[in-house]
Chains A and B, each alone.
Chain A
Amino acid sequence: MASYLLGRVGQALVVLALTFTAAFLLLQVLPGDAIMIKFMSPDMGLTADQIAEIRASYGADRPLWERYFTTVGNFLTGNFGISIQAGVPVSQQLATNLPPTLLLASLAFVAALILTIILATASNMVGMEWLRAGLQSLPSLFISVPVFWLGIMLIQIFSFQLGLVSVISPGPVERLVLPVLTLAIPISAPLAQILMRNIDQVLAQPFVAVARAKGASRSWVLWRHVARNAIMPTLTIAGVLFGELLAGAVVTEAVFGLSGLGGLTYQAVGNHDTAVLQAIVVISALAFVTINLIVDLLYPVLDPRLGSRSGAPA
């Protein structure tokens, strides 16, 4: 168990180091230098010497390998560099932009869970064949809908056609209703697909037939026996879901004009603000790797069958 743990942690660290290096190479060796973009413009009226001085103050004139190791050291101590466009530390920008995105993402995640459970239960309880087929194909539809378009359509329907959600001066809760829904619907799709498939697999198992033969009702079996076994494998896509939530938040915030990590990313791309982008990429990779590591380590604990098979106490 200890060697497995060590191996998994080591693997996660290697992936993280590679991501960091790739992000550094991709974003620091790029042609459009952020400093040049900001200070080269004629209205700044700077001489070549002054620009060279500014570059030196950002450390951009140092050799590549030196910059690489400085950046590694800085990241390890929580210093993500300075946003060239805004002129403030990236960590400060992240601190102000992270909370609204976290709120949006977690609300959307809860909404997606509710939607998934409703979909999975309904598609198993409904008796009519055509309605069941329709419910089961809903996740495929959700996956195929562009997030930005979904957001626009929701604004169109709920704000302009029905007049239910005000667009001009929405309250704090009203402001979040449509973004949360926009983000929740595509997130619920992979969840629902996996859950539905698992439920079908568990329902085919002999112990379900035994429970039914003993007189348990369909819903009793579904909630008491199937749910626990079917929800477990859904955990394995937690890391992927996190990535989808983050990417979805970028688009959702752009559509609804919300400030947050998404807005920050969007601006960073437009301004070639590589320090910001690198911090966001590395942090999201860190989160992805950590979530997957936790799921991998937690899985044998939650599912005793896996622990006993390997012969080691979980």
Chain B
Amino acid sequence: MSAETASGTSADLRPGWVTRLKRVPVTLLLAWTIVFIVLAWAALPSLFTGYSGTEGVPGEQLRPPSAEHVLGTDGLGRDVYARIVYGARHSLSGAFVAVTVGLILGTLLGLIAGARGGWTDVVIMRVVDSMLAVPSLLLSLSIIVLLGFGTINVAIAVGAVAIARFARLARSEVMRVRRSEYVEAAFGSGGTFWAVLYRHVLPNSLTSVIALAALQFGSAILAISTLGFLGYGAPPPTPEWGLLIAEGRNYLSRAWWLTAAPGLVVVLVVLSADRISKALGRTAP
């Protein structure tokens, strides 16, 4: 009886969070769940596993997945699941740095190009074009040669690739909003350029920038794992995901779980970022 009245009143009100959650597609919900789990791994790895991410247990080498070791152990007796959990911090923070570098520098370049116009625009956009003309892996490799190996350098190298994409998006957003009537009105009523940019252009382009950031986060994880695999990232004891796969390669014939497990995690995270980015882009005005 009481349940009936409760449902009756809630129908009159705005839909509750449960109803709204039910309208979210299952795949999107799954994508967010995966992202949250991986973020939790990165924040508090010791909550998710009792094993160490870098130190092995003697006599426990190359155990196949079991109840004790969910994803088996590697050649030094280290728990693979623990290494993936501890590796989340390296892979995610790398991707985070990369996206931040690309987002800030790229958006700034695009804003300036779109706002100033004229020669500034031409020069900036030709530089962006030339960045896009080089395959992204080659661009990253050139920057790694310049900066040297290491986690942060790899992250910056991956972020540099994203600069051009953010710059293009930011510029096109500025151009789009600039032509609209309310922006003209804002200028007409005495708004300075930067004030209009902040109050009108920025909020209107935020959705598409965030959607691109989500997409770039996924590709940054892919690129960082690729560079880690090639040996340009963090040095060996680090449980970075690409490095885990590279190490597992030596035991390909005997221990399939060493390469399969970290690779699957990368695929799931990248797929999730892709799915979330699509959902964000769809809600764009």
Contact = CB atoms under 8 A, between A and B. Distances in A.
Interface in B91-147: 126-127, 129-131, 133-139, 141-146
Given A146-B267, A149-B259, A284 B138 contact: yes
A86 to B, nearest CB: 16
Contacts of B145: 26-27, 30, 32, 269, 272, 274, 277
B267 A144 contact: yes
Contacts of B139: 281
B207 to A, nearest CB: 21
B142 A288 contact: no
Interface string B220-257: 00100110011010000000001001001100110010
Contacts of A143: 270, 274
B129 A15 contact: yes
Contacts of B133: 15-16, 19, 285, 288-289
Contacts of A19: 130, 133-134
B56 interface: no
Interface stretch (A55-63, A173-181, A247-255, A300-308): A247-255
B263 interface: yes
Given A14-B126, A149-B245, A250-B137, A23 B267 contact: no
Contact of B256 (A148, A156, A274): A156
Nearest to B246: A148
A285 B127 CA distance: 13
Contacts of B270: 143-144
Contacts of A202: none
A284 B135 contact: yes
Given A16-B130, A254-B230, 10 more contacts: A26-B146, A146-B222, A148-B226, A149-B229, A152-B252, A251-B226, A251-B230, A281-B142, A288-B134, A289-B133
16 contacts: A22-B130, A22-B131, A30-B146, A146-B229, A146-B245, A149-B245, A149-B267, A153-B259, A155-B252, A160-B256, A246-B135, A247-B138, A265-B141, A269-B141, A269-B230, A284-B138
